Homo-oligomer: A and B are copies of this chain.
Amino acid sequence: MGRPSIKAERTAEILNAYEQCVARFGIEGATLERVASQAGLARALIRHNVGNRDALFDALVERFFDVSEQRVVDLIAALPERDRAPVLIDILFDVRHGNDTHVLVAEALIAAAADRPALAKRMKNWIDDFVSAIAAVLRHSYPDAAQGRVTAVATGVTGIYFNVDSLAMLGGMTDLRRNSKEAALLLVCTLED
């Protein structure tokens, strides 16, 4: 009985708006006013649905890791049985990821980790896990390649990918994206020898 709750949807909307603000203004610059404005909601609704500033931050962090884990799972699942490496690069440097704030949020969290040791450890693991996932895909395509080289290539591909997403906010970065993708492919091809 009573009015149906929409807390789940509202929370998602608020966290989406918060992510946009974090990507644009950073953690400390993402004020509740800006988040409310971005979400098109009254500021009091942020408190009603999520809580205060710290609660909002904590919710963002938890959702970030959940979403990140799911994205990696989906990414791997989208790969074919054969020729996984080039398809991986296709997906990573697809223009559809153009407006994606995930990497920007990650960088904001890394900055905020400066005085949050526990978060710093989680972000380090997050990077390691991502590189490891890329490395696993590469190992599948190049089972004879040396481990050290696979790790290096996976790190390089990850770096190029993160960088593209970092700079994507500028807009009109099609050349950079194309050249980055070509570089990633060249790097992967060094595992063929």
Contacts and interface: CB of A to CB of B under 8 A. Distances in A.
Interface in A119-154: 120, 123-124, 127, 131, 148-149, 151-154
A167 B27 contact: no
A152 B186 contact: yes
A29 interface: yes
B167 A155 contact: no
Interface string A176-188: 1001101110110
A70 interface: no
Classify the secondary structure of A's interface with B. helix
Copy count, this protein chain: 2
A123 B104 CA distance: 17
Contacts of A111: 23-26, 104, 169
Contacts of A124: 170, 172-173
Query: How many interface residues does chain A have, given as a range?
Result: 35 or more
Contacts of A166: 107, 110, 162-163, 166
A62 interface: no
B107 A24 contact: no
A171 interface: yes
A41 interface: no
Contacts of A176: 127, 131, 155
A156 B152 contact: no
